[in-house]
Structure 1
Amino acid sequence: MADSRKYSSKLSGKRILVIGGSSGIGYCVAEASIESDASVIISSSNETKIKSSINNLLRTYPSAKDRVSGYPCDLSSPSLESNIEKLLSQCGGKLDHIVITAGDRLATSKIEDITLESIQKAAMVRFNAPLLLAKHVRKYLNAGPAASITLTTGTVSQKPMKDWSSIASYAAGLHGMTRNLALDLAPIRVNLISPGAVLTPLWDGMPEDQFHGFVKMMKEKLPTGEIGRPEDVAESYLYVMRDWNCTGSVISTNGGALLT
């Protein structure tokens, strides 16, 4: 019998690559995609972490054994472009969607302390990688508006924060990249998700007392009274994959951070 679900089956049978899918928002995008009956390939720089994440996914979704796989890809390496090409070729066959949530440690720095090296390093994972991936993606994505690429920025792209100039520059640049790629790669769709503060492992490097102070400050400041959960933010990525009419768009999911 044909599947009569008009909306919840939109990702059924689709092949989705989640770069940054071994933790945080990317892991939750992988979970949500599996629940939507898609096949998921997760990637990060750490092969051990990929294997652990796949095991965790299969413990939660044992029936998805044939729909989950993963491959490492170092986006911070000088061989970035060849690493991306290798990852895409390892996926085998055409993909329907690519989601990029990968991010390295937030390189906040006082303006007087930045260097050319630090500026270039800050670009690798969050800016250079999406652009170089777009260069090669036509060969690996199904053609047409059913296919999509989804990039990730943050609210600092719209609301400046002290000592975030390097990161903010690239975060804002992703807005322009998304709009232009939506034209360059058409009819493949390209969109951008802009989360606010989200409780992910990216904050693990922060001293515990500083982290608790940050959480308290954000809860008091945000209209929702809560910091974002990755499982909620993941819904934005599912939306832009499902909506064939959405391209060149920025979806904000920030707890109202831009209002205060």
Structure 2
Amino acid sequence: MSALRYVTKLQGRRLLVLGGSSGIGFSVAEAALEHGADVIISSSNEARLRKAVDRLRTGIVNPAIPLGSGPGSENQSSGSGTLSEESPRISSVTCDLANAATLEKNIASALELATAGRTCLLDHVVFTAGAPLKIVKVPDATVQAVQDTNLVRVVAPIILAKLLPLYTHQSAASSLTLTSGVTTNRPTPGWALLVSAGAAVEGLARGLAVDLKPLRVNVVSPGAVHTELFADIPEERLQSVLDTFKTNSLTDTVGTPGELAEAYLYCMKNTFATGSVIVADGGRLLI
């Protein structure tokens, strides 16, 4: 049998997932590990990151790169944080994206750590980080509310893109994948601020695809996905909420983080895809 051509496309590649400690980002990290990538996950919560790394290390099923060997296996440290774990296959770095005053410094520090001081450049970056879902309707909008809505969702990806050329291999084999949401094209009443943030991300990706070439830039637009955020819904209401989401899909299901991870894998593996919005919404836009 000839050498595998498709499932090995991420083997030995270096991936940073911002927002990788839970939900879709965690599943992207998990999927990339199965494909043989070296993965660094990031979020603002160090304890949550450590738990996520433990789960990912336990779940590695395709050790294409032996644990504890290879470039970048040494612990790295710098000022505001450390790159945890000894294995090059899975590690973590804390990065607070919700503080405007230190945002650029925090992202730069995370990139320095994730690349061992630019000695191990990134091949792919996935941005699934988000802020707590706070619905502010237009009649109640303030300048601060608009800024809060956009800081993590829009401003952080812009600053990330500003810094990224120094930390990534410059070829069409490398990519940045952002995240929007199906409400961008099918607005929910009262969600105008969040809809505008999603639209900004999709426009940003198209602009970055031009400005950052040959690095590829794409967006994944998820529909309703059953993540840890559902834990905030009272148990007596949860099934009703899930049933509503199922009704608003053609698949009669709610998406899973694992299903969405496939979309991010596509964006990383397809070297001819850039400036695209990949929709995975169970057919929501058709209803």
Query: Which TM-score applies when normalising by structure 2?
Result: 0.87
Match of 1:255 in 2: 282
Question: Does 1:147 pair with 2:174?
Answer: yes
Question: Does 1:181 pair with 2:204?
Answer: no
Q: Distance in 1 between matches of 2:240 and 2:10?
A: 40
What is the CA RMSD across the aligned residues, in angstroms?
1.3
Q: Distance in 1 between matches of 2:234 and 2:138?
A: 22
Bigger mean CA deviation after superposition, 114-123 or 9-18: 114-123
Is the 2:136–2:145 Cα contact (8 Å) retained in structure 1? Answer: no
> Which of 263, 277, 284 is residue 236 of structure 1 equivalent to?
263
Match of 1:44 in 2: 43
Q: Percent of aligned positions with the same letter in both sequences? A: 41
> Which of 76, 79, 98 is residue 76 of structure 1 equivalent to?
98
Question: Does 1:169 pair with 2:196?
Answer: yes
Match of 2:239 in 1: 212
Question: Does 1:115 pair with 2:164?
Answer: no
CA shift, 1:202, in A, is: 2.6
Counterpart residue type for residue 81 of structure 1: E
Q: Distance in 1 between matches of 2:215 and 2:10?
A: 16
Unaligned runs of 5+ in 1: none
Counterpart residue type for residue 251 of structure 1: I
CA shift, 1:109, in A, is: 2.3
> What SS does the corresponding residue of 1:204 show, helix, strand or coil?
helix
Unaligned runs of 5+ in 2: 68-86
Counterpart residue type for residue 57 of structure 1: L
Query: Which TM-score applies when normalising by structure 1?
Result: 0.96
CA shift, 1:159, in A, is: 0.7
CA shift, 1:116, in A, is: 1.2
Question: Does 1:7 pair with 2:34?
Answer: no
Q: Distance in 2 between matches of 1:248 and 1:118?
A: 29
CA shift, 1:220, in A, is: 1.9
Match of 1:194 in 2: 221
> What SS does the corresponding residue of 1:22 show, helix, strand or coil?
coil
How many residue pairs get matched?
A: 258
> Which of 109, 126, 129 is residue 86 of structure 1 equivalent to?
109
Q: Distance in 1 between matches of 2:162 and 2:247?
A: 43
> What SS does the corresponding residue of 2:273 show, helix, strand or coil?
coil
Counterpart residue type for residue 10 of structure 2: L
